[in-house]
Amino acid sequence: MRLHYLLSMLLIVVPAGCNLSLNENISPAEGAFYSHDGVRIYFNDIGKGRPLVFIHGFGASQDSWRYLVKAFKEDYRLVLLDLKGHGYSDRPYDYRYSIQDHADIVSGLISHLKLSNVILVGHSFGSAVALFAALRSRSSSPPLVSGLVLIAGSVDPHSLPLFLRLLRIPGIGWLSMNLTSASFRTRIALTRAYYDDSKVTDSVIEMYARYLRIPGTDHAMLETAKQFVPPNLSQLKAELKKLEIPILHVYGDRDIVILRKPAEEVCGLLSRCSFVTLKDVGHVPQEERPELVIPLLRERLGRIVAGEAKP
């Protein structure tokens, strides 16, 4: 009975998967790759000025920042990457898909581009990656990361979204990747992520789903989900308290993927964190309501650049 329930839920809520499509050949029209331990990581480097490095969420790609790129490319240097197993980046059949592995990739790209005084911008899973990449940067002198913008973040292992909890169950995760199409799963996931699901158009669904059809995505998603909770999380949380850079955490008050309490608890761990709630918006405010996010970030990034105590 329990198995039947789990399978039913998988058909409803799993957002990421891979239906192998050998006829589909997608490739980037622009951008570049850098090699991280032999894994090609796709990125775009746009504009000039203070560098902002954007880190997307689980099952997404750098496309999720499209509205922010238009708004900030004249004033900042924007670096957008596809995490390992996502977007146009490689999907090797290995087991290095932990948050720390993804954070190392971000740190590697920063070093590859010889960036300094970086502000990391992370969404959902990308928020956790951004936090741990900022911890990595503390070993540099001066630290390479000087500010953070988190969107819908959490570091509470008990607040994992349902689809991630299901993907972590042996066997169930594999079945979830093979029982339904990438488009179907994406549609269901985005209608949960958006408060106004009228904005979940066919074109937005395809923007996400096309990457999920690339061979190897199923393995990458399953391994990332399995390793989502670091074994040394308590130690890492203690280290986060030592971060002394200004941090802004943006949260949509209609988010049902990451609930408010675990989102607020992120700022509870950080000494210079400001928590801002946006009204009537869900889990992906940078896509659903960019008209709210852009002016907020424009103001708060200015504060971070100015070095105020909190953004």
Residue 152 to residue 268: CA distance in whole angstroms: 15
Residue 161 to residue 239: CA distance in whole angstroms: 24
What is the token pair recorded at 144? 């390479």
- Tell me what pLDDT residue 173 has: 63
- Structural domains of the chain ordered from first start: 28-306 (3.40.50.1820)
- Tell me what pLDDT residue 228 has: 86
Token pair 């061979």: residue:
215
Low-confidence ranges of the chain (pLDDT < 70): 1-27, 158-177, 308-310
Contacts 24+ apart (CB under 8 A), 96-100: 96/37, 97/220, 97/223, 97/224, 97/226, 97/227, 98/224, 98/227, 98/230, 99/125, 99/128, 99/129, 99/132, 99/227, 99/228, 99/230, 100/132, 100/230
